[in-house]
Amino acid sequence: MDNARRNFLKLGTGAAAGTLMASPVAATTKILVPPPAAGRSALRLVTFSPQPGTAPRVGVVTAEGMVVDVGAAARANNMTLAFDPSSMLSLIAAGPQALAQAQRCAAYESTLSVNSVRLYAPIPVPQRNVYAVGWNYLEHFGESLTARAAKAKLPAHPVFFTKGTHTVNGPFDPIPFNPAVSTMIDWEGELAVIIGKRGTNVSESDAMNYVFGYSVINDTTARDMQVDHGGQWFKGKSLDGHGPIGPWIVPAADIDYNDLNLTTRVNGVVKQHINTRQMYFKVPRLIAELSLGLTLEPGDIIATGTPSGIGAARTPQEFLKPGDIMETEIDRIGTIRNEIRSVNS
């Protein structure tokens, strides 16, 4: 393996070690905890380390921006947890009882500020590829069509593809840029749906009962690889570290997914902005179609599609370059912020 490839992997494969590469909050970054909607404080579930060298564990971020270590709080209060407090996947799989226990822990005092801990992707090591949806906002469908296909009919079914597990990156981790790999890295801000229980052939009417919660994800994409590999999406979507997600998971009961403003910024300039009510295929339809003959598991991640405003569709085209700061924000959930960082060639 040449040095360029080795360094690219070292920077980008947070997922290879459970996104356990350091994801400290930079001194210039302040994590803003969104205010509660309609007076209700949403539960914010994180995977974090309180200090360098300590193992990641599940935490709850309070409305005041403090992080409660769920395992430590349970031990201090003689609470027997229904899940492994070092694993978000364990919490999700344990169901409503585990979520209720995490909610109880959120009431305990903490001296840890969210700005002083290391945050990782909420699910650092997904058990399976990230599911993703193409062309789920009409304007993006239109901007992605070639002139020849401009009169194409709107899709009758969602377009699905996957991103490899090693794409998963922390909410504040750098995204690797190596011109030997790709020079056309694009942004795609999206709402992420986290599945809460196993299901196959889930009906649309029952689909929301399978949603554990929501997060923010950016389906960062190498456009040149999409072209080079026959126009299919998997390779261009699956570079290591090109799927930052976080900063936490908000449970489904605490938020209305169908009325959230999604914004992508590059160096402070808005590139994408839309409300999730403009999704063409809503979350229940996505789950019903995806689960048809295909079993979904607790902790599965679905990236629900990006709006218009991608760099490849601009005139002239725009792509991310080393030093750029990409921010992906969904109100009432939070903001992830990722530097595009050059790797040694």
Secondary structure (H, E, C), 290-309: HCCCCCECCCCEEECCCCCC
Mean pLDDT, 10 residues at a time, over the chain (345 residues)? 39 37 49 67 94 95 96 97 98 98 95 96 97 85 51 82 98 97 97 98 98 98 86 91 98 96 98 96 98 98 96 96 98 97 83
- The pLDDT value recorded for residue 153 is 73
User: Position 80: which residue type?
Assistant: T
Instruction: Give the whole-angstrom CA distance, residue 262 versus residue 303.
Output: 13
Listed residue (187, 335, 337, 332) closest to 272, CA to CA: 187
CA distances from 169 to 34, 42, 117 (A): 22, 23, 16
- The pLDDT value recorded for residue 113 is 96
Instruction: Give the whole-angstrom CA distance, residue 48 versus residue 218.
Output: 20
Instruction: Give the whole-angstrom CA distance, residue 13 versus residue 148.
Output: 38
Listed residue (39, 43, 34, 33) closest to 65, CA to CA: 33
CA distances from 110 to 69, 75, 201, 252 (A): 8, 14, 43, 25
- The pLDDT value recorded for residue 115 is 96
